């Protein structure tokens, strides 16, 4: 079971974070100056798959801490619809692990032509986008060979958090990341149990709110990609507007509680619908029951996301293996997806 390549990569995340805290030389100061000098009025993100889940995460923290509205733009708006924008006051962020997708390369080029300042966040310093973007942020995730992205997602979260903290002139965040890596290394033996979840049921919801909703999207993607389960992400506020009608006894309900203002409302939001199924699994920093997934809270609330995902990735891979699936070779999938 431990011969899985993707499991090996997921388990390496604490070491990757430690290395990142020692070698990260990304241009936070220069890009933070763009924000603090009021040269940017809004942010556009362009990404696909797991990277787009990280982009959704950024939209919450950019709005919450920087007061900047952020829009995740479908690449087809530029590549197929040929739409034009005044991006003279925009920061366009391209997020791509491989840096090789042709549609994202085209989007960066066109965004720059429309006046945007562009940032590439990638794990590939030789990406064609790197040669043309204004700023390059290296994920420093080491080579990620697996189809399923794990460590590159966590590294993207760290870059986004660190960028925000630099904009807020809290430049000691790297010390906090270093401390986080040391904690995660010490805690690496405390893995979530696969047996907690009924692996014979293949449908359900995962509910979150705020950054937790963004993380729910990535968790949902991994259930589909690695486990062939349709676990759909919903805001705990939005699920009441119709989707709750789907819930029944043969239905899983994951409740993701983060420790920010939005995340702390999720359990209360979900009180009614927890009566509709017994297959309820709480992901929180409260170790409440035998069906709880506990993640230790960090003193820096924003880093809770990193702690939780570091716990989740090895679990979902082992869970996939427990179903008799091969997480190293997800059905029908390839590392680089061409959509343009």
DSSP secondary structure code for residue 318 in this structure: H
Strands of 117-122's sheet in order across: 70-72, 42-46, 90-96, 117-122, 135-138
The per-residue pLDDT for 338 is 56
Residue 163 and residue 27: Cα distance in Å, rounded? 9
Neighbours of 27 (CB within 10 A): 15
- Tell me the pLDDT tens digit for each residue of 230-285: 999 999 888 777 777 777 788 999 999 999 999 999 988 888 788 888 888 999 99
What ranges do the domains of the chain cover? 5-175, 194-322
- Tell me the pLDDT tens digit for each residue of 107-148: 999 999 999 999 999 999 999 999 899 999 999 999 999 999
CB–CB of 5/126 below 8 Å?
no
CATH of domain 194-322: 3.40.50.10490
**Residue-wise DSSP of 23-74:** H----HHHHHHHHHTT--SEEEEE--THHHHHHHHHHHHHHHHH---EEE--
- Indicate if the alpha-carbon torsion angle 302, 73, 134, 117 is positive or negative: negative
Token digits of residue 117: 């300042």
CATH of domain 5-175: 3.40.50.10490
The per-residue pLDDT for 336 is 62
Shared fold status for 5-175 and 194-322: yes
The per-residue pLDDT for 37 is 95
Token digits of residue 65: 């801490």
Alpha helices (H) in the chain, listed in sequence order: 5-11, 13-23, 28-36, 50-66, 75-79, 102-113, 151-167, 173-186, 211-227, 266-269, 304-322
The per-residue pLDDT for 23 is 97
Residues of the chain with pLDDT under 70: 1-2, 288-291, 335-340
């Amino acid at each position: 079971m431990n011969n899985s390549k993707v499991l090996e990569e997921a388990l390496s995340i604490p070491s990757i974070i430690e290395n990142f805290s020692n070698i990260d030389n990304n241009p936070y100061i220069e890009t933070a100056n763009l924000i603090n000098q009021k040269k940017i009025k809004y942010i556009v993100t362009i990404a696909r798959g797991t990277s787009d889940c990280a982009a959704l995460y950024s939209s919450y923290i950019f709005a919450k801490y920087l007061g900047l509205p952020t829009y995740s733009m479908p690449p087809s708006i530029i590549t197929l619809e040929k739409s034009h924008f005044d991006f003279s006051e925009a920061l366009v962020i391209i997020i791509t692990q491989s840096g090789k997708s042709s549609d994202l390369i085209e989007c960066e080029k066109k965004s720059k032509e429309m006046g945007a300042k562009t940032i590439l966040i990638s794990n590939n310093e030789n990406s064609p986008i790197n040669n043309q973007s204004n700023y390059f942020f290296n994920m420093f995730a080491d080579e990620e060979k697996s189809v399923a992205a794990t460590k590159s997602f966590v590294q993207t979260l760290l870059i986004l958090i660190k960028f925000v903290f630099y904009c807020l002139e809290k430049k000691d965040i790297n010390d906090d990341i270093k401390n986080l890596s040391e904690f995660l290394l010490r805690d690496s033996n405390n893995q979530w149990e696969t047996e907690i979840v009924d692996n014979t049921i293949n449908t359900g919801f995962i509910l979150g709110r705020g950054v937790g909703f963004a993380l729910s999207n990535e968790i949902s993607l991994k259930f589909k990609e690695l486990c062939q389960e349709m676990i759909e992400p919903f805001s705990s506020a939005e699920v009441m507007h119709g989707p709750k009608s789907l819930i029944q006894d043969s239905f899983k309900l994951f409740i993701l509680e983060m420790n920010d203002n939005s995340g702390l409302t999720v359990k209360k939001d979900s009180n009614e619908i927890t009566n509709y199924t017994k297959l309820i699994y709480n992901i929180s920093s409260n170790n409440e029951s035998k069906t709880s997934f506990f993640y230790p809270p960090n003193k820096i609330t924003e880093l809770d996301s990193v702690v939780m995902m570091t716990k989740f990735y090895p679990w979902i891979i082992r869970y996939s293996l427990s179903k008799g699936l091969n997480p190293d070779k997800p059905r029908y999938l390839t590392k680089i997806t061409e959509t343009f």
